[in-house]
Amino acid sequence: MSQLAGDLADESAAIDLADAATNLAGPDSKLTAAAAIYAAYGHGLRGQSAASLGVLDEALDMLADQPPATLSPWAVWLDASYVGVQRARCLAVLGDHRGGARTFGREIQHLPPSFPPRPRSLPSPTGGRVRQLG
C-alpha cells in the first residue's frame, strides 16, 4: 500500500503505511527493508533529500544483515540493485534528474535476469495509462 501511495504522490500515506508495515513485519524481515524503500520515496516526494537517501542507506544495511539463506516467499526480488533503482527514482523526484538517470543506468545492469519486465505503458496518477513505451 505504501508503494501505491507513493505512485499516487501521496507522500504522507507512503510514509505512514511504510511505518505500519515495518511495525507488522518486525526488524528481521525483508519486508522491513521493502517498507523503508517506499518510505524513502515518500520523503523524496516531500523534498526531504537527507531523509529519503538516508532511509535507502538503512534499507541496504537491513539487507546486508539478512542471512543469505533466508527462506521467505516475501520480497524475493529485493536486493541491492533494486534499492539502487529505487535510489534513482528518489533522486529524480528530488529534482536530481541527471543523478537519477546515471544511477538508474548503472543499477539496471545489475538486476537479475529473472526480474519481471516493466509494463509497456506508464501509470497515470489520475488512473489509466499515459503513454506506450518502446
pLDDT tens track for 59-116: 999 888 876 655 566 777 788 999 999 999 999 999 999 999 999 999 888 877 766 6
Burial-class residue 49 by CB neighbours within 10 Å (0-12, 13-18, 19+). Answer: middle
35 confidence band (pLDDT: 50, 70, 90): very high
Res 134 pLDDT > 70: no
Report which DSSP code applies to 74.
Answer: S
Between 2-11, 21-30, 47-56, the lowest mean confidence (pLDDT) is in 21-30
d(CA 69, CA 71): 6
* Residues above pLDDT 70, as percent of the chain: 79
0.95 surpassed by pTM: no
SS3 83: helix
Q: Where are the domains of the chain?
A: 2-112
Q: Are 70 and 30 in contact (CB under 8 A)?
A: yes
Closest C-alpha to 126, from 42, 1, 10, 35: 10
User: Kind of pairing, strands 121-123 and 129-132?
Assistant: antiparallel
